[in-house]
Amino acid sequence: MKQKTYVYHSMPLEQVVHGTIVADRRYSDPEWLEAYQWLEKEVGFFPIFLSIGDRDSDAVYMTGYQNQWRVYIGGDFDADKKYRKIYRKAGEFPNQVLFAIPLESVPVRSFNDYQWWNIVLTDVLCQREIGPGLRRLLFKKSWNEARWLRQARRDSHLVQMLAPQLDLGAAEYIWVRNKSTQEALQKQGFHNVQVRRIALES
């Protein structure tokens, strides 16, 4: 029996609505906004970023859902130019919700190569021109959707999907960090909301 294909999207609880969300640049990391706007010109819409895979696949790691349990989040130099690690404290952890939505519930979709997307991010940030060769590697215009899906089944970290909007109400299952978040979503009308923690990537 053929496995069902899902798209996965993680977002903060406070942004969740029971219905369709539209890509909104206000929620974008300002550091990467210029790259997202470059992508908007290429695909014709400002994107919602999605991962793609079979049920409970490693594609969920592409969404960053697991990072809400990360304690060590980096570091910075203090006034004495000494590097200090930064750790989250109780009450500082984000509250992310993971939506698993059947692929067919996303009518407008575009695919690209996630590894090459990371190169584009850096090039745009450094004000370097994105040439035709890099565009070909990123978008692989000769690939049809079936080929992108085969690639995602081989390795979900190689394929990134984009959509201009997403119907959260179409989610077949939803993961949350705790019981209170589960109850909040159920009050909004969501079903099959599961408290699910996943391990951090090493």
| Count of all residues that appear for the chain in the document | 202
Six-digit token string for 105: 């519930």
pLDDT of residue 181: 98
Question: Is 202 inside a domain boundary?
Answer: no
Sheet of 173-176, strand order: 110-113, 159-163, 48-54, 5-12, 96-102, 173-176, 193-195
Which residue in the block uniquely carries the two structure tokens 């060769």? 133
Is the pLDDT score of 56 beyond 80?
A: no
Question: Is 200 inside a domain boundary?
Answer: no
Other CB atoms within 10 Å distance of the CB of residue 32: 13
At 88-141, the pLDDT tens digits run 788 788 999 999 999 999 999 999 999 999 999 999 999 999 999 999 999 999
C-alpha 136/C-alpha 157 separation (Å) is: 19
Question: Is 172 inside a domain boundary?
Answer: yes
Long-range CB contact pairs, 178-184, < 8 A, 24+: 178/95, 181/13, 181/95, 181/97, 184/13
C-alpha 48/C-alpha 168 separation (Å) is: 12
Question: Is 201 inside a domain boundary?
Answer: no
At 3-12, the pLDDT tens digits run 899 999 999 9
> Directed axis angle between helix 114-125 and helix 132-139, to 10°?
140
pTM: 0.91
Q: What percent of the chain is predicted at pLDDT more than 90?
A: 79
Q: Report the number of distinct structural domains present in the chain.
A: 1
Q: Which domain holds residue 191?
A: 5-195
Is the pLDDT score of 1 beyond 70?
A: no
Is the pLDDT score of 170 beyond 70?
A: yes
Higher pLDDT, 70 or 183: 183
Question: Is 25 inside a domain boundary?
Answer: yes
The candidate with the shortest Cα–Cα distance to 135, out of 28, 38, 31, 23, is: 38
Question: Is 13 inside a domain boundary?
Answer: yes
pLDDT of residue 168: 98
Question: Is 124 inside a domain boundary?
Answer: yes
Residues 10 and 61: beta-carbon distance below 8 Å? no
Question: Is 96 inside a domain boundary?
Answer: yes
pLDDT of residue 166: 98
Phi, psi dihedral angles at 86 (to 5 degrees): -110, 125
At 25-46, the pLDDT tens digits run 998 989 999 999 999 999 999 9
